[in-house]
Amino acid sequence: MPNVYDKLDVTDITVSKAGNIKSVVVNLHNLHSDKFVPPPTQVSPEVEEMNNVIQNALDTLGHLSHADNDARTREIYEGRANFKKLYNELNFPRGKFNQPDKEKILQKIENSKKHHVSRMHEISKEMLTAAAWKVTQLANETKALISAHEKRLKTLNKMYEREPVNIVNFLDTWYEKPFYGKVDTAGALIYYSQQKNATMPLIAIDDEGEIKVLQFVAMAFKGLQEEFNNRPLNKKSIRLQKINPKRGASSFEGLYEEHINLLYTDFDRQILRRLRNTNKIKDFNDFYNLFIDYIKAKDESFTLIGFAESVKNNIYTSGLAIDILESDPSSDLEKVEFYDDSNYEVFSYLTRKHGFRIDPNVPWRIIADVSSTNMWEYLSKDTNVFAQKTTAIATDASFTEETIKKLYEIYFDSLYSNITLYDFVYRAANFYEDFRTKNPFYYDKVAGTDKQKRFMVFVKKIPRSELAGLDKIIFEIMHSQAEIKKIAALQIKNTQAAINEVAELTSKISIKLNELYEAIGNRTYKKEIKNYFEKYVDFRNYEVGKIFTSRRLAFIKSNALLIFKQENAKFLENKKNALKNESEIGYSPLKDKAIQYIEMNFGTPEVRNPFRKGKEAAAGQNNLMKIFKESKYKVKDLS
């Protein structure tokens, strides 16, 4: 049987001279090692850096971060730095969803050893009494068993060495993408329009019908919620046993009004109360200068565009974000506990599956990723974006760009086409009127003589100046429009009293519009208009970080006035027709292209970022100025 023996590579068989099998020896060395010693685990530099951050935090603070708005200075400084480094920069946690359980792997290795050793002993006994053909079969089985065991060992070793897999599912709205949902594909500022609510209303995602988002976002959340809540989960979870919406879309216009009113309330408390009886505020001009100085000192935004670019304009105004918990977004401790929740890895995995991403700064906030192919499944069913249901979803770049562009055009309005020069003045004028109504007089020292003709200094009560000229006309027009909007927002809008009031206000607006057209036509307020442009440009330059020199600012102001004159001349030629078409929604002189030209000089927030440290943005690098380069307006060159 030499041919049989030649095939036996891993067994040693002893036979007699007659050819009978006397003994069989099987090499079980690989299966008899006393204990499995796992190879040293090699970690990536990134994972090693994570471990170092965590260890350093434990050494210095005793924890990663307990920072919140009420924490002590060291905790805020070091804790926030630890949190930012670990979660924002290193994308921790990297996904326990695919992380190996090393204790279980070691147990599987031991079980595999026992199974194979037991079977090999059985084969050895069978070979002692088996026929030659059977010995060959058993020898082949032995080789197959050892080969399978070796392969299993290699697989288990790889599992043991595997690093946690990073589920890239963060959308950082603080540091990386602060303007997500606030700008279109060109980077221009946009906002969800409340005026479109009647035809494209937000969709409720809670039982009470109070928490709403865009239609496709609502569908995606329902899909995520159903799969997560019906999935077998770890019952030890504290924060993620079920997911339910706690916050959705908020009004951009409402948020801006709230911001402006809070500014005025604080201005009144800090400045106006101590000056209300003094001659520091004699008229609107005094009030305006104090108000603007206060805003600059507070480093706050005031214009509509400035607010839209600021952190005060949050992601919720886009209708793309949902909170699933009512927790403190300033508390790092609550965030870390959320990340450490036993069901977080499943939550992270499923949010990505349904087209959402997690904000690492507020991990219970999920944001619809409009560039995700997983979200396109829901976007294709959005009847506002697609008139008919789209059955096939393309995954190429052209679909991404065109679909997202279409999405922004349908759901959002451009801020640049909805800003007015006079709104800037009206806001301050409205506050002045409120202040003057409550404090109609101030006191000033006046020199004079008494009855005996002796020189005396008297304290005189003097009425504060009312709004006058163009300030007054604009205030009355825009105040009336604001009143109409208030009525439209109320449930009483269809009552006869409300209808009569709206008719009266509309008539007042029409009369004041005629005054405005006549004044602009005969250039009565030429200086005032120039003053408006100068104030707006100067303040916007402050809001964006003083990126332009005085020479560049003078150039922008000059061209803005030229554009205003060209637009105004064209408008006055068709005054009657323009009045008829614009009386209900606005009016051309207050929606002139000059203000858009100013904003296009400042560019989009993202393009402007490299110049925030006092450097001047070049016109060639401004992605909005290209709109005016080929326009019909005659403007000067900066030379």
Secondary structure of 515-573 in the HEC alphabet? HHHHHHHCCCCHHHHHHHHHHHHHHHHHHCCCCCCHHHHHHHHHHHHHHHHHHHHHHHH
Same domain flag for 487 and 586: no
Question: For residue 69, is it within any domain?
Answer: yes
Q: So what's the pLDDT on residue 365? A: 97
**Opening angle at CA 495, ends 490 and 500, nearest 5:** 100
Whether omega before 93 lies within 30 degrees of 0, making that bond cis, reads yes
Same domain flag for 278 and 397: no
Q: So what's the pLDDT on residue 597? A: 86
Q: So what's the pLDDT on residue 53? A: 79
| 480: containing domain | 468-524
For tokens 């993408």, what's the residue? 177
Same domain flag for 324 and 203: yes
Question: For residue 178, is it within any domain?
Answer: no
Strands 362-368 and 321-323: antiparallel
Q: So what's the pLDDT on residue 2? A: 37
DSSP structure class, residue 42: P
* Number of Cβ atoms within 10 Å of the Cβ of 536: 23
Residue where a domain terminates, one of 379, 414, 449: 414
Same domain flag for 375 and 408: yes
Question: For residue 518, is it within any domain?
Answer: yes
Question: For residue 175, is it within any domain?
Answer: no
Same domain flag for 197 and 273: no
Same domain flag for 306 and 433: yes
Same domain flag for 536 and 454: no
Residue 330: alpha-carbon gap to chain centroid? 16
For tokens 């170092």, what's the residue? 52
Q: So what's the pLDDT on residue 591? A: 55
Q: So what's the pLDDT on residue 47? A: 72
Residue 556: alpha-carbon gap to chain centroid? 31
For tokens 């049987």, what's the residue? 1
Low-confidence ranges of the chain (pLDDT < 50): 1-11, 15, 19-21, 28, 30-36, 97, 388-389, 391-398, 578, 582-588, 590, 610-621, 623, 627-631, 639
Same domain flag for 160 and 20: yes
- Determine the straight-line distance between the first and last CA of the chain, rounded to whole angstroms: 103
Residue 517: alpha-carbon gap to chain centroid? 42
Same domain flag for 496 and 459: no
For tokens 């988002």, what's the residue? 213
Kind plus residue range of the DSSP H or E element containing 58: helix 45-60
Q: So what's the pLDDT on residue 181? A: 93
CB 90 within 8 A of CB 162: no
Question: For residue 171, is it within any domain?
Answer: no
Question: For residue 185, is it within any domain?
Answer: no
Q: How many domains does the chain have?
A: 5
Question: For residue 179, is it within any domain?
Answer: no
Question: For residue 170, is it within any domain?
Answer: no
Query: Residue 366: helix, strand or coil by DSSP?
Result: strand
Of 271, 277, 285, 289, nearest to 440 by C-alpha is 277
Same domain flag for 124 and 137: yes
Q: What is the DSSP track for 402-462?
A: HHHHHHHHHHEEESTTS--HHHHHHHHHHHHHHHHHH--EEEEEEEEE-TT--EEEEEEEE
Same domain flag for 70 and 20: yes
Q: pTM for the whole thing?
A: 0.76
User: CA-to-CA distance for 161 and 42, rounded, in angstroms?
Assistant: 7
Same domain flag for 121 and 205: no
Q: So what's the pLDDT on residue 457? A: 65
